[in-house]
Each structure stands twice: as structure tokens, then as C-alpha cells.
Chains A and B, each alone.
Chain A
Amino acid sequence: DAKTTQPNSMESNEEEPVHLPCNHSTISGTDYIHWYRQLPSQGPEYVIHGLTSNVNNRMASLAIAEDRKSSTLILHRATLRDAAVYYCILRTNDMRFGAGTRLTVKP
């Protein structure tokens, strides 16, 4: 399975943008890039996904490199509620989680 690499942790100030990077140099042409986040004491929740083009939804934006070997999840204005572990996942048939990035948001 193709692997992803994310920083262990990141910090952000409230109401500032956050850019969460993910490297996936062994991505295959059919892998979709998914992002999930896990708030404390909850199951993971879907954030966004994409294949080749940048994507926007109400929660975040996903910027995908032209060679697809990396991507960045963008939270436009971090809130305290965005403090979570963010997982970047390459999807084939099933979904396998890496270690993720623990995002801390400071007031």
C-alpha cells in the first residue's frame, strides 16, 4: 500500500489559516487522497478528498501537487474546535490510517 508522511504535530493560532502537509511519493494513479480528522474522544470524521484537482468544501480546501506526490489541507480560519488529529490517507479499496498530525489551536 502507498504510504503517507505527515508531521507529528503542528500549532496554530485561532482565526489564522493552517496548512497541513502530506507527502505521498508512492501514490498510484487510481489513489484518491482523503483527509479525516479525529476530535478528542470521537471517531474520525471525513474532511475532504480529491484525485488531481484542488477541492474546496465548507470545512477546508485541498491543494494537490501537480505530480500528486504531496498535498496540503488548508483550514482557512482555525477555531478551537479544529484541534484534532488530522489523517491524510490514500484510498484504494479500503482505508488505512497513518499516524496523522496533531493540530493544536491556541486562543
Chain B
Amino acid sequence: SAVISQKPSRDICQRGTSLTIQCQVDSQVTMMFWYRQQPGQSLTLIATANQGSEATYESGFVIDKFPISRPNLTFSTLTVSNMSPEDSSIYLCSVESGTFSYNEQFFGPGTRLTVL
């Protein structure tokens, strides 16, 4: 299993500013994922971050808006840039226990972002 922590747990930000969310894992993992969960909705995959390579973004998400860093096998950051109220969501990171599609994923507790 993997234990994941996220910082901050919540934040209230002003329109036009940026927020960087940190994700720390207690073990080395190859694949990390970032998700967004808008109020009352399901999770939407933003991007996949592998250490040593550029993040792969899903349709509708771009690097300029959601830059991701993955400096090592236990840490990643997601920045929400030039925020607007529509960015108010819970942002979650997750890791995979292996490299196969039958491996389970472990999720962090999420970062609740409110943009005013």
C-alpha cells in the first residue's frame, strides 16, 4: 500500500492568482496521477506524471494552465494557474502500486480549492 499526503488540504484564493499543490508519497512509485473533482461531480483525470518525463495531459487540460512537476519518485506538484471561480474543485493525486492495469491506485485526501 501507499500513504499519500497533500498540501494544502484546502485554500481560498483570489481570481488571477496561482496555487501549487504538493503530493508526497511514502514509497517510490513510477506513475502518479492528478484528478479534479468539481462540486457534486465524479473525478476527471487531468494528467499522468512519470518521473523523468513530461506529464501527459488529458483532453481539455493544458500545461500552461496546470503545470506539473515530478522531480523524484515520491513527490509531485500541480499548479493551478491564473485561477478563476470555475477552478474551484477538489484536486487529488493518486499513485499506482505497479505498472499493470490490474494494480490498484491509492489516492490522497485531496486539496479543496475555492476561487473567489
Contacts and interface: CB of A to CB of B under 8 A. Distances in A.
A105 to B, nearest CB: 20
Interface residues of A, number: 24
B42 interface: yes
Interface stretch (B62-70, B71-79, B107-115): B107-115
Interface string A5-31: 000000000000000000000000011
B33 A95 contact: yes
B104 A43 contact: no
A96 B101 contact: no
Nearest to B48: A94
B30 interface: no
Contacts of A32: 101-102
A92 interface: yes
A46 B105 contact: yes
Given A94-B33, A94-B48, A95-B33, A46 B104 contact: yes
A68 interface: no
B43 A42 contact: no
A78 B43 CA distance: 25
B106 A92 contact: no
Contact of B43 (A44, A45, A91): A44
Interface of B: 4, 33, 35, 42-45, 48, 92, 94, 101-102, 104-110
